[in-house]
């Protein structure tokens, strides 16, 4: 009997390296409140990514929440329906209304040509997602935002260690939000971060994550608790040393999948620039929902669980109504499947997954 295969598994540094990093925390008893390990992780990540600064937070969802707050957004925020529920939920959670626009058929990212029709006097921002790490058409989105005086927050949950025009994609827009969840390319178990080129915004996000305290512990803003602990930061520091290796490994496995599936006439892959992708997911688009369900059944019979990232299409959820029908997003969401992709996945397992797909 083969062991079950899940859509992903965390990439983890050797346990001894993690434990070593925790020795100082054990000695000092400092476990949280913007401690030395978290500040070191902020510096090391910013340097690794080529960003001037990075603010570590408790998770990627609160990175978006604090960004909405830091920019004082209200009213309507234009976003994509082809994303994880967190993106749209946090807009509503912050008492704004998500307005969905359709995606491009090849990149599965927000279609910039559909944005202007969705802008109203109530629109305050655009919140696109770099889905599966492929950068959106940022040049076009920024031009539209500038023309209409809108803010831009990028949900870059998937897009750590991705460049756009040779520079970190996280340096784009007013703020970019990353996730360091256990299932991501780089993880701190739970965690996330905000990147902005505006030092004032970074300072505000830092205050918002810490109850509104400034550096002198004066209450200067209406904040909450979104701090990253030392225990999480240590895991990040340990894992960061392996990030290049993890990315290269996943890239190799991604191509093994493509080699085995490209001849199957019913499988399509995401369109992206290979220099601007981090290979954290293995999304495949089947030619019909019926075929996708057959693939799912074949895999389930072998104890292999892929994920329908992202289904359902968020504009179809009742609590976001009224929203119009968005044919490209709905069609992609009905036929997409993310196949298993992670460090310890071996070639034989990829072969088994591909066989199930081809047999559908």
Q: Is 260 in the site for ligand T4K (CB under 6 A)?
A: no
Stretch that binds ligand T4K, among 69-77, 165-173, 181-189, 228-236 (CB under 6 A): 181-189
Footprint (CB under 6 A) of ligand T4K, residues 278-297:
none
Cβ distance to ligand T4K smaller for residue 83 or 270? 83
Residue nearest to ligand T4K (CB): 60
Q: How far is the CB of 219 from ligand T4K (least distance, A)?
A: 26
Length of the chain: 360
Q: How far is the CB of 220 from ligand T4K (least distance, A)?
A: 26
Judged by CB under 6 A, the residue of 81, 98, 128, 192 near ligand T4K is 192
Q: Give least dist CB 276 to ligand T4K, A.
A: 17
Q: State the burial class of residue 260 (Cβ atoms within 10 Å of its Cβ: 0-12, 13-18, 19+).
A: middle
Is 236 a binder of ligand T4K (CB under 6 A)? no
Which has the closest alpha carbon to 209: 94, 56, 60, 68? 56
Q: Please give the residues from 69 up to 98 whose contact with ligand T4K meets the rule CB under 6 A.
A: 83-84, 86-87
Choose among 139, 130, 165, 151: nearest CA to 60: 130
Regarding 156 and contact with ligand T4K (CB under 6 A), the answer is: no
Beta bridge partners of 313: none
194 binds ligand T4K (CB under 6 A): no
Q: How far apart are CA 339 and CA 308, in angstroms?
A: 9
Strands 175-179 and 192-195: antiparallel
Q: Which of 5, 51, 60, 299 binds ligand T4K (CB under 6 A)?
A: 60
Q: Which is nearer to ligand T4K, 223 or 340 (CB)?
A: 340
Least Cβ distance, residue 239 to ligand T4K (angstroms): 13
- Of 191 and 213, the one with the shorter C-beta distance to ligand T4K is 191
Distances (CA, A) of 333 to 8, 49, 285, 317: 20, 31, 9, 13
Among 99, 129, 228, 336, binds ligand T4K (CB under 6 A): 129
Which residues between 107 and 126 bind ligand T4K (CB under 6 A)?
none
User: Is residue 49 classed exposed, middle or buried when 0-12, 13-18 and 19+ CB atoms within 10 A define those classes?
Assistant: buried
Token pair in block for residue 97 = 């209304």
Q: Figure out which of the listed residues 7, 41, 138, 304 binds ligand T4K, where binding follows CB under 6 A.
A: 7
At residue 267, φ and ψ (nearest 5 deg) are -115, 130
Exposure b/e, 207-239, CB count within 10 A at least 16 = b? bbbbeebeeeeeeebebeebbbbbbbbbbbbbb
Part of the chain binding ligand T4K (CB under 6 A), chosen from 40-48, 179-187, 206-214, 238-246 = 179-187
Q: Which two tokens stand for residue 157?
A: 């949950």
Q: In this chain, which stretch among 27-35, 213-221, 248-256, 304-312 interacts with ligand T4K, using CB under 6 A?
A: 304-312
Within residues 15-44, the interface with ligand T4K by CB under 6 A covers none
- Part of the chain binding ligand T4K (CB under 6 A), chosen from 74-82, 272-280, 301-309, 323-331: 301-309
Residue 309 engages ligand T4K in binding (rule: CB under 6 A): yes
56 binds ligand T4K per the rule CB under 6 A: no
- Closest CB to ligand T4K among residues 207, 232: 232
Which residues of this chain interact with ligand T4K, rule CB under 6 A?
A: 6-10, 59-61, 83-84, 86-87, 129, 155, 157-158, 179, 181-183, 192, 305, 307, 309
């Amino acid at each position: 009997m083969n062991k079950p295969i899940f859509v992903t598994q965390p990439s983890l540094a050797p346990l001894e390296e993690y434990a070593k990093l925790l020795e100082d925390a054990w000695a000092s008893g400092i476990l949280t409140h913007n401690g030395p390990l978290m500040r070191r992780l902020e510096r090391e990540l910013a340097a690794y990514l080529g960003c001037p600064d990075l603010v570590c937070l408790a998770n990627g969802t609160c990175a978006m929440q604090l960004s909405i707050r830091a920019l004082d957004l209200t009213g309507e925020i234009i976003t994509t329906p082809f994303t994880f529920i967190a993106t749209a939920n946090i807009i509503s959670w912050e008492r704004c209304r998500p307005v969905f626009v359709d995606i491009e058929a090849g990149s599965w990212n927000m279609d910039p040509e559909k944005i202007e029709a969705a802008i109203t006097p109530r629109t305050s921002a655009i919140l696109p997602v770099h889905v599966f790490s492929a950068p959106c058409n940022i040049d076009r989105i920024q031009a539209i935002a500038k023309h209409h005086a809108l803010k831009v927050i990028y949900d870059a949950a998937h897009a750590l260690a991705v460049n756009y025009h040779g520079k970190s994609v996280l340096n784009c827009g007013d703020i970019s939000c990353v996730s360091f969840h256990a299932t991501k390319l780089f993880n701190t178990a739970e965690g996330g971060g905000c990147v902005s080129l505006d030092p004032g915004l970074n300072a505000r996000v830092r205050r918002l994550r810490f109850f509104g305290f400034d550096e002198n512990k004066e209450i200067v803003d209406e904040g909450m608790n979104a701090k990253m602990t030392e225990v999480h930061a240590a895991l990040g520091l340990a894992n960061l040393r392996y990030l290049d290796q993890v990315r290269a490994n996943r890239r190799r496995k991604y191509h093994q999948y493509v080699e085995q599936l490209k001849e199957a006439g019913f499988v399509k892959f995401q369109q992206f620039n290979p220099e601007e992708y981090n290979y954290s997911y293995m999304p495949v688009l089947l030619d019909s929902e019926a075929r996708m369900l057959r693939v799912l059944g074949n895999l389930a019979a072998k104890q292999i669980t892929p994920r329908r990232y992202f289904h359902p299409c968020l504009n179809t959820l009742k609590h976001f109504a009224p929203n119009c029908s968005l044919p490209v997003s709905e069609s992609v969401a009905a036929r997409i499947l993310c196949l298993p992709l992670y460090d310890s996945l071996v070639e034989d397992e990829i072969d088994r997954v591909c066989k199930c797909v081809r047999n559908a």
